[in-house]
Amino acid sequence: AIGFEPVLLRFDFDRSAALGLISAELYADQRPTFVRELLQNSIDAIDTRAELLRQSGIFLEGRISICLTTLPGMTRVEWSDNGVGMDRYILENYLTKIGRSWYRSSDFYKYSIAHDPISKFGIGLLSCFAVSKTITLTTRREPVLARDHNGWHVYIHSRDNYFRVRVQDHVSVGTTLVLEVTERTDVTSASAIAAVIKQTA
């Protein structure tokens, strides 16, 4: 390296700015986009669990439950499915890794699951921050896949902070996600969200 300075330079990301840019570019102009993203996540999770159980001769009736509650200045969205759920390994290695999808990983392909997931980029959760400052997540992994058998409660206070994570007992297999959607415009009212859910589903 004669004639060169030993300075290690490469392109890197300002984490907060990059997350904001991704969220804005993908979702800011279409606030109800989070409905489509959550629906796709639920469908993939249910299809995966159904296929795994089918291999053992067990039938799963997939269920997606959406509850909208109107509160002062906001709409509380509670979105639940009885899909494959998450364990600590998935939370640490996929949920928190922007651009990394479990459905496109060797961890997924080793199970020879015979369906083509919708998810590709692992960025759907960011869409929720276009309408909600916080995300609360309760989940438990399908035992066939689980590296641990705990239920997990995850509170995401903001897009830029660490998550608050704790083990939670008596959690059914699947995932429940709670958003507090600020009613900035008619697009994010309870009736508007309900209409988008109906149209998308």
Give 65's pLDDT tier (boundaries 50, 70, 90).
very high
Place of tokens 């906001």: 74
Please determine, for residue 110, whether its predicted confidence score (pLDDT) is greater than 60.
yes
**Top-confidence residue, 18 or 54:** 54
pTM given for the model? 0.84
Place of tokens 């979105």: 79
> What is the rounded end-to-end Cα distance, in angstroms, of the chain?
60
Give 135's pLDDT tier (boundaries 50, 70, 90).
very high
Q: What is the mean pLDDT of the chain?
A: 86
* Type and span of the H or E element at 168: strand 164-168
Please determine, for residue 185, whether its predicted confidence score (pLDDT) is greater than 70.
no
Please determine, for residue 96, whether its predicted confidence score (pLDDT) is greater than 70.
yes
Q: Which two tokens stand for residue 92?
A: 């640490």
Select, from the ranges 3-17, 45-59, 85-99, the one with the highest average predicted confidence (pLDDT): 45-59
pLDDT at 170: 94
pLDDT (average), residues 31-57: 90
| DSSP 8-class letter at 91 | I
CA triple 17-179-174, angle to 5 deg: 110
- How far, in Å, are 64, 79, 89, 90 from residue 152 at the CA level? 19, 16, 11, 11
Q: Hey, is 197 helix, strand or coil? A: helix
142: Cβ contacts below 8 Å, ≥ 6 apart: 49, 52, 84, 85, 173
* Range of lowest pLDDT (12-21, 56-65, 99-108): 12-21
Pair 174, 186: CB distance under 8 Å: no
